[in-house]
């Protein structure tokens, strides 16, 4: 229909040119040019065409927050990670951090540790090697400052961190990885992590340790978990007078 209309317009152009030729300064070339334009467009309309739908999807950046438990129980050597070799829980946590950074090659990362309280060690950065280096230097807190394990210790710092990231990058996907043995020894009622939901897109818990558990080495100030395990000094359970046994709590 459109092509026929264009062809009619081309014929009208010629007819009008002939009719007005005596009283108009229009040249033959101008008439031919307009007629050819109409005919070419008519031919274009008649050519086959394929209608296809296109979709576009916005690709949001991903911001990954890694929170690692550094309470004294993370020095227990009852964990395995990727092999049957037994390692300390903090060593397993370090390897887990490396796997997280490798799984998000184009992401930005923030890293915090928590023991008696939560501490943001590395603010949001696209520098994944900085997070790996941070993981390599992680050490459990000294026994002298340990006040028992409370899984809600990182909540306040996590809330501040994830809120600031969301405000600065409202379109980003924010993911939390919480790496812990899940042990709760504090008598204080544990708070939930529900306050983080409005800012997070997803969250994962990585459990380290074993349900059989192991003895907790005494960690002196400035001594790493690996060094402490070469001694026979263990945290004593005040109720039994025997070395306390720490177990990974899968329910938590």
Q: Is the per-residue pLDDT at 56 higher than 70?
A: no
Pick the closest to residue 165 from 192, 129, 133, 126 (CA basis): 126
206-222 tens-digit pLDDT: 999 999 999 989 887 65
Q: Which two tokens stand for residue 96?
A: 């887990």
| Share of residues in the chain with pLDDT > 90 (%) | 48
pTM: 0.71
| Share of residues in the chain with pLDDT > 70 (%) | 78
Q: Is the per-residue pLDDT at 10 higher than 60?
A: yes
With residue 124 as reference, give the H or E element that holds it.
strand 118-125
If one compares 1 and 84, the residue with the highest pLDDT of the two is 84
Q: Which two tokens stand for residue 22?
A: 């005596």
pLDDT of residue 1: 67
Highest mean pLDDT out of 59-73, 98-112, 210-224: 98-112
* Least reliable range by pLDDT among 13-22, 123-132, 172-181, 194-203: 13-22
Confidence of residue 92 (pLDDT cuts 50, 70, 90): very high
- Contact assessment for residue 177 and residue 204, using Cβ atoms and an 8 Å cutoff: yes
Angle at 93 between CA 87 and CA 98, to 5 degrees: 115
pLDDT of residue 228: 43
Q: Is the per-residue pLDDT at 229 higher than 60?
A: no
Say how far apart CA 123 and CA 165 lie, in whole Å: 10
Q: Is the per-residue pLDDT at 159 higher than 60?
A: yes
Say how far apart CA 169 and CA 124 lie, in whole Å: 11
Q: Is the per-residue pLDDT at 67 higher than 90?
A: yes
pLDDT of residue 147: 62
Q: Which two tokens stand for residue 154?
A: 């990182």
* Least reliable range by pLDDT among 50-64, 75-89, 139-153: 50-64
Say how far apart CA 116 and CA 126 lie, in whole Å: 28
Residue 143 is classified by DSSP as: G
Residue given tokens 């996590």 in the structure block: 158
Pick the closest to residue 102 from 132, 66, 147 (CA basis): 132
pLDDT of residue 247: 87
Pick the closest to residue 179 from 119, 110, 247, 114 (CA basis): 114
């Amino acid at each position: 229909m459109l092509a026929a209309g264009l062809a009619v317009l081309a014929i009208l152009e010629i007819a009008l040119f002939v009719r007005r030729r005596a009283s108009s300064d229009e040249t033959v070339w101008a008439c031919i040019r307009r007629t050819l334009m109409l005919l070419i467009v008519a031919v274009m309309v008649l050519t086959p065409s394929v209608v296809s739908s296109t979709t576009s999807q916005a690709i949001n950046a991903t911001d990954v927050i890694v929170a690692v438990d550094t309470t004294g129980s993370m020095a227990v050597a009852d964990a395995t990670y990727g092999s049957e070799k037994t390692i300390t829980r903090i060593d397993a946590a370090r390897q887990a951090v490396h796997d997280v950074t490798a799984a998000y090659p184009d992401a930005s990362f923030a890293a915090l540790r928590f023991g008696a309280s939560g501490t943001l060690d590395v603010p949001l950065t696209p520098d994944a090697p900085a997070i790996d280096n941070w993981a390599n230097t992680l050490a459990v807190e000294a026994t002298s400052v340990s006040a028992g394990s409370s899984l809600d210790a990182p909540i306040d710092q996590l809330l501040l961190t994830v809120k600031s990231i969301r405000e600065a990058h409202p379109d980003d996907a924010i993911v939390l990885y919480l790496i812990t043995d899940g042990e709760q020894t504090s008598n204080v009622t544990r708070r939930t992590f529900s306050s983080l939901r409005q800012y997070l897109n997803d969250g994962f818990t990585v459990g380290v340790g074993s349900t059989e558990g192991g003895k907790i080495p005494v960690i002196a100030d400035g001594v790493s978990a690996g060094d402490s395990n070469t001694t026979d000094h263990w945290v004593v359970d005040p109720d039994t007078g025997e070395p306390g046994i720490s177990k990974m709590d899968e329910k938590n």
